Each structure stands twice: as C-alpha cells, then as structure tokens.
C-alpha cells in the first residue's frame, strides 16, 4: 500500500498458467535455493551490491521528476538515499532484512519484460510491496489486520493495490498468504503493463494491466528498477531471481492470452480472403509485406463492425504503413474515407505531428510514443474497435484509448468524413515501405448500440 502522504502528488486461469509456464518455479522452502535455469540472482545473499536506496517520501522519487535532474543532482540523491537505506537494511544468513523503516531498496539495473521470483517473510501489522518498473505495486500485508479490512487487507497479498477501484488486478483472485512465520513465494510475470502474479503457486492476478500510479494517463515506464518497499514492520526477502523475457517470447505470451475467439484472416501463403492492391504486396516467410516503392490498400473481403484485431508488425527504419479501420472499399484515402487509419510508423521518425505517431488515429488522436521494439524485431499489437471508440495496445502497453465521436479538431484542419462509420473492411494502407505483418487474427464483438 502506498504511504498516505504520497496521495497528493478471457482465457481461464489454468490456460494462462500454461501459457506463461517456464522451466520450473521456485517454491518457498526452509532454506535458500539456487536460481532455476534461465534466471539470474538479483540479490547475492551477502551484501547490498547491485542495490541503492530510494526514499519514496522525496518528490524526486517520482521517476519522471528523477529523470529531470542532471547527472550530478541525481547521483547526490541516490547517495543520500542509499546512506539512509544502509541504516535499516542488513543481510543475515542469506536473507535481506529490513526493520520496517528507512528508504526502500531499488535495483541498480532497470528491467522491462520480466519473470521475477522472490520469497518473503513478514510480521503481523506489517505492510509492504514490490514496485515493478519503479511503480507501486504488488501488495504485501497482514490479511488478519481488521483495521485495514476496509481497504482490502482481508483479501490477501499479491494484488495490484494502486490500480483504480474495481480495475482488474486490484484485488487478488484468492487469499493465498501463508501464516506468519512461514515463507511466502511470489512469481511475477510482466509483459508491458500486463501483469500476472502467483502467490504460493496460486494465481492471484491474471494478466491485468498495471496502472501507472505516477501518471495514470501514461503507460508504465518501458524499463525501470524493481523496488522493495519498507512500511512499518520487519520483512525478510530471499531467493530473488529474475529472467528477462525476450521479445519473441513476450509476443507469444500476449498472443496466447488473447487467442480465445480469434480467427486467422491471413494464411501466410496466399491472398485468399483479401482484395484491393494485391499486386503491390508480397508474401515472404509467412508475412505479408508491402513491396518497396509500392502502396495502396490491401483489405479483407469481409466487413466488420465492432471487432478486435491482433497481429505482429515489423518495421524497417522510417517504415510507414497503416491499419485501415472500417474502410469502405473501392478507391480513396483510407485515412479519411474510413473510420480512421491507425498509423504504423517507426517511432524514431522525426518531425511529425503527434497525431502521426505509431498507433495514432491518424490526424485525429495521438498515441503514446516510445513503446516499439527495436527496428527489425516483431511488435505485437492488439486493436479494439467498439462503437466510436478505439484502443491500441502495443507490446502490452495501452498507447491509445479514444472516442472519435468527440474529435472536432484535425491535423492540418482536414476533416475525416469517414470517422463515424459503423462498419467496413479491415486492411493495410501501404506507403512505399516494406513494412511486414503476420499472425493476423480478428474477433468479432457484439455490436454496440449506435
């Protein structure tokens, strides 16, 4: 749980467990264990090497404010925070021990997509947590503390406590805490903002989106430290191991979670089911690619009203394309005559209007920028179109959430006559660059009242 003074500033559980499984987990035991295959120790069991202090009560502890400091000022902050942390954190018998006071501990290393294993043991009335990407938090507290039942302590640990009320993940799915005096074991998997938490081998958070406490209008930071919270009672940690999840595996996790109800609309071999500029596209290694210096709209033969589309996208440097949403067919600029073009563009492309960035409803609503994978890697994107609203999730980060019916200002003062269309085709709006798409799947949604 966050300290109060800061407040001013469907797949089944079993299926997702299989989808996220790795080569072995580390159940809590009576003695420290060696890291499982593929995992690296985050705590060496001997000292605080690899960690520094993070004084959460300091305004600069907000990572956005911290980033505004110059190198010298930032180093001084960390030095002071670490000096405070060393007064309250010790190492005993391979265990990292905090007395319930002082600065939090933060990893020197920044982490992105990750699988984290960590054991903890705490005392009655204690309240703690784990910050992922420097953001609160996977909650730890006393599930018997009646004084906190009104804020959810009776539901147990493991929830994303700082998510908004009623949001998925805020409350754990089951009570999984062990009795005081016993070690508890967390397994936390985070891909983008999508967070899954197992506590003592029980699923307590199922691929929920972790909200950005520091700025709820922004996705989580792409990379940031892991923090261990100290909050009013002794807590002990051990067996802290991390496995950084490579991009291809992260994409597979995202795709498996979203697999139910989707139908493939591209077979990876032919243009069956597609029409339009087929001569300007080619199929290479199971992906459809716009031919260099060609373009036009390649679109489905089937129309869609409300739907989700999931696909992978690979961009060349400065690559430019787009997803045609509710395109009416025929000829014309899909960005204007369809509901919209969801821009597909290299994030490093310079000198553009924010409403041209990747994932944006082109010319109308800007997406959040900076969540693409490096050029040459596949990105996983999920688009949800329901009534006049569109959501775009890129690599597990929500980068666009908009209602086009409310848009009345347009880039270059050029209106979009098709923005209120209620159905149409889905397609690719080629712009001369060899942008690639694969694993293209669609799920029809129940049509909204319109």
Q: Summarize pLDDT for 220-274 with one digit per residue, the tens.
A: 999 999 999 988 899 999 999 999 999 999 999 999 998 889 999 999 999 999 9
Q: Is the pLDDT of residue 27 over 50?
A: no
Rounded Cα gap, residues 429 and 409, in angstroms: 23
Q: Could you say which of 198, 218, 250 is where a domain stops?
A: 250
Structurally, the chain folds into a number of domains equal to: 2
Sign of CA dihedral 305, 306, 312, 318: positive
Asked if the bond preceding 128 is cis, omega within 30° of 0, the reply is no
Q: Is the pLDDT of residue 10 over 50?
A: no
Same domain, 140 and 246: yes
Q: What is the pLDDT of residue 57?
A: 83
Same domain, 123 and 237: yes
CATH number where 104 lies:
2.60.120.560
Same domain, 139 and 231: yes
Instruction: For tokens 């003074």, name the residue.
Output: 5
Asked if the bond preceding 140 is cis, omega within 30° of 0, the reply is no
Classify residue 450: in a domain, yes or no. no
Q: What is the pLDDT of residue 449?
A: 55
Same domain, 169 and 77: yes
Same domain, 213 and 302: no
CB 400 within 8 A of CB 325: no
Same domain, 227 and 275: no
Same domain, 98 and 219: yes
CB 431 within 8 A of CB 349: no
Cα separations in angstroms, 379 against 1, 147, 204, 436:
33, 46, 28, 10
Same domain, 85 and 200: yes
Cα separations in angstroms, 334 against 259, 298, 319:
28, 11, 18
Q: Could you say which of 215, 250, 285 is where a domain stops?
A: 250
Q: Is the pLDDT of residue 336 over 80?
A: yes
Same domain, 86 and 223: yes
- Residue 92 forms beta bridges with which residues? 95
DSSP state of 189: E
- Domain housing 382: 261-444
* DSSP H/E element including 382: strand 379-386
Same domain, 89 and 108: yes
Classify residue 346: in a domain, yes or no. yes
Classify residue 60: in a domain, yes or no. yes
CB 115 within 8 A of CB 246: no
Classify residue 421: in a domain, yes or no. yes
Classify residue 21: in a domain, yes or no. yes
For the stretch 288-299, pLDDT in tens is 999 999 999 999
State the DSSP string of 218-244: SPPPSSB--EE---SS-EEEEEEEEEE
Classify residue 256: in a domain, yes or no. no
* DSSP H/E element including 16: helix 13-19
Residue 32 pLDDT grade (very low, low, confident, very high; cuts 50, 70, 90): low
How many separate helices (H) and strands (E) can be counted in the chain?
A: 5, 26
Classify residue 449: in a domain, yes or no. no
Same domain, 215 and 286: no
CB 445 within 8 A of CB 308: yes
Rounded Cα gap, residues 364 and 413, in angstroms: 10
> Is the model's pTM score more than 0.75?
yes
**Lowest mean per-residue pLDDT among 20-34, 69-83, 333-347:** 20-34
Same domain, 148 and 287: no
Classify residue 255: in a domain, yes or no. no
For the stretch 119-140, pLDDT in tens is 999 999 988 999 999 999 999 9
Q: Could you say which of 210, 230, 250 is where a domain stops?
A: 250
Residue 19 pLDDT grade (very low, low, confident, very high; cuts 50, 70, 90): very low
């Amino acid at each position: 749980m966050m300290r109060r003074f800061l407040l001013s500033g469907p797949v089944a559980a079993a299926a997702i467990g299989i989808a996220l499984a790795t080569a072995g987990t580390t159940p809590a035991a009576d003695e420290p264990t060696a890291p499982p295959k593929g995992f690296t120790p985050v705590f060496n069991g001997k000292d605080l090497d690899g960690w520094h202090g993070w004084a959460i009560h300091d305004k600069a502890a907000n990572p956005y404010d911290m980033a505004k400091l110059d190198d010298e000022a930032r180093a001084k902050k960390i030095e002071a925070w670490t000096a405070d942390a060393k007064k309250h954190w010790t190492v005993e018998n391979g265990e990292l021990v905090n007395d319930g006071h002082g600065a939090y501990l933060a990893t020197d290393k920044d982490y992105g997509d990750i699988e984290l294993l960590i054991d903890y043991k705490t005392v009655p009335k204690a309240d703690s947590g784990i910050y992922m990407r420097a953001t609160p938090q996977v909650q730890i507290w006393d599930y018997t503390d009646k004084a906190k039942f009104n804020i959810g302590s009776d539901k147990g640990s493991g929830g994303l406590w700082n998510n908004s009320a009623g949001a998925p993940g805020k409350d754990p799915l089951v009570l999984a805490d062990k009795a005081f005096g016993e070690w508890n074991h967390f397994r936390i998997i985070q891909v983008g903002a999508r967070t899954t938490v197992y506590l003592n081998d029980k699923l307590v958070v199922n691929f929920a989106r972790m909200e950005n406490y520091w700025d709820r209008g922004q996705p989580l930071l792409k990379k940031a430290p892991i923090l261990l919270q100290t909050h009013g009672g002794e807590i002990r940690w051990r067996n802290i191991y991390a496995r950084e999840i490579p991009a291809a595996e992260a994409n597979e996790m995202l795709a498996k979670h979203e697999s139910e109800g989707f139908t493939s609309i591209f077979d990876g071999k032919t243009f069956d089911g597609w029409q339009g500029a087929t001569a300007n596209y080619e199929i290479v290694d199971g992906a459809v690619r716009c031919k260099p210096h060609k373009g036009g709209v390649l679109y489905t033969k089937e129309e869609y009203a409300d739907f989700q589309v999931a696909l992978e996208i690979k961009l060349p440097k400065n690559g430019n394309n787009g997803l045609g949403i509710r395109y009416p067919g025929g000829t014309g600029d899909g960005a204007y005559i369809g509901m919209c073009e969801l821009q597909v563009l290299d994030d490093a492309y310079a000198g553009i209007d924010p409403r041209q960035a990747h994932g944006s409803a082109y010319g109308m609503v800007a997406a959040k920028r900076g969540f693409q994978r490096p050029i040459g890697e596949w990105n996983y994107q999920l688009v949800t179109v329901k009534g006049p609203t569109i959501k775009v999730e890129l690599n597990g980060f929500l980068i666009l959430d908009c209602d086009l019916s409310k848009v009345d200002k347009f880039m270059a003062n050029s209106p979009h006559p098709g923005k209120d269309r209620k159905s149409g085709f889905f397609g690719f709006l080629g712009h001369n660059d060899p942008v690639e798409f694969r694993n293209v799947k669609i799920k029809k949604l129940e049509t909204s009242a319109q």
